[in-house]
Structure 1
């Protein structure tokens, strides 16, 4: 009946946990952004990160392959001229892919081995980061959260981006190391850190090199987010 986006908005407004999560996310991304900056949100889900980007005045190009998320995204951002939502996946090459999903759950993934509860499959269009750059420009901040498919997304990257943020799963930390190696192949990495799942705490007390990062996290968190500063053009503080 189209009531879910409305009900979700009301619930998030009255829930203290959701208000806290939004505040922490907003404060975290505000360290990196200023009004007018361009952000890419690869794996936008229901727009949690878009909210934080817009709170800093950034422009957003958001990619979300799950069509069931589009009504909520339209409800939240459809009247915002600074947000463009694109119903496509991102990978190493252009073409099509099979998305595994369950309703609007954030577990949706191109990988068929990612989550047993993703009980639906649909074919989706796939493009590359470089194609997005050609259409919209190079962003200041690139966020990638695609449930285990991050490595393939970065395989389609051919140039540095000032701030790169991507989801890290401790059980697949080897993929993080390969992603950092990939990023080093397209530009200079100035430093790396990680932030907790709720964006409330840096996991390292200083920014480190990619080589140091490989051993600095001990023990490995179950879930966190890696932040990479490239080219010496990005500035923020811990």
Structure 2
């Protein structure tokens, strides 16, 4: 039964993230963001749609995905020139426990409190974290030592973003983190961490929009004000940060 639920979760994610319209939109977006030959890290690669879009833009891609059955799917299906690592990324090189939702695997998380907090929030009432998986964790600093300084890093790890950045000791040219308005304090903490690393400016992409929300990149105070003004049930998106 558990294997069947995991397979259904994989099929559900494939249907969502390989929608032809979504694929074209992602490729166009990354083509405008990444110059050919850029090095990109995809942290939380899931079904690989972002990694493929980055590769289509001409980037060299390192994709990290620890969760099964997704890591196995990526190993079988990703182009061979994408470097796939079956690793989580966090504050240290260690083993860690992931809380897994078999039917809704996009919200599986290494955060020890994410599942408990989410269960009481709008939009998560139907989600059950029904199993755990032990995963190997590395750090951003180790990835950089092994593969080079990336031009761009996409981080989508369901409440574990600050932990990922805790394993990073230098500023990066550009990165993105998923934001969830119901977990606004976590994103505010991410902004604080980035400002500790360097002087960043920000621009959000809301939901599945094909471009940035703002015409300009704005400072941390502006993005904090915008985030705190979002209602908890507003949709998620990605917050992009560019080193100023």
TM-score range, shorter chain: 0.7 to 0.9
CA distance in 1, matches of 2:169, 2:132: 30
Q: Determine whether 1:139 maps to 2:150.
A: yes
The alignment of Structure 1 onto Structure 2 pairs a total of residues equal to 221
Structure 2 equivalent of residue 235 of structure 1: none
Moved over 4 A (4+): none
Q: How many angstroms apart in 2 are the aligned matches of 1:128 and 1:98?
A: 16
Deviation at 1:155, TM superposition (A): 1.0
RMSD between superposed Cα atoms in Å = 2.5
Q: How far apart, in 1, do the equivalents of 2:41 and 2:172 lie? A: 11
Q: Which residue of 2 aligns with 1:226?
A: 239
Q: Distance in 1 between matches of 2:155 and 2:98?
A: 16
The answer to whether structure 1 residue 96 and structure 2 residue 91 are counterparts is no
What is the aligned partner in structure 2 of residue 215 from structure 1? 225
Distance (Å, rounded) in 1 between the aligned partners of 2:90 and 2:140: 8
Cα distance in 2, alignment partners of residues 148 and 64 from structure 1? 15
SS of the aligned residue for 1:31 comes to: helix
Instruction: Give the whole-Å Cα distance in 2 for the aligned partners of 1:76 and 1:36.
Output: 22
2:205·2:212 contact (CA, 8 Å) conserved in 1?
yes
Partner of 1:197: 207
Aligned-pair CA distance for 1:201: 4.2
Q: Is the 8 A contact 2:95 2:137 kept in 1?
A: yes
> 1:216 & 1:114 partners in 2: Cα distance?
23
Contact 2:207–2:235 (8 Å) recurs in 1? no
* Deviation of the 1:159 alpha carbon: 0.8
Q: Does 2:185 match 1:174?
A: yes
Matched residue of 1:219: which SS? coil
Is 1:54 the counterpart of 2:65? The answer is no
SS in 2 for 1:30: helix
Preserved CA contact (<8 Å) 1:196 1:223:
yes
Structure 1: 5+ residue stretches without partners: 233-238
After alignment, is 207-216 or 195-204 more displaced? Answer: 195-204
Matches within 5 A, 1:1-238: 18-77=19-78, 79-81=79-81, 83-103=82-102, 105-115=105-115, 116-189=127-200, 191-217=201-227, 218-220=229-231, 221-230=234-243, 232=244
Distance (whole Å) between structure 2 residues aligned to residue 188 and residue 219 of structure 1: 24
2:4 equivalent in structure 1:
none
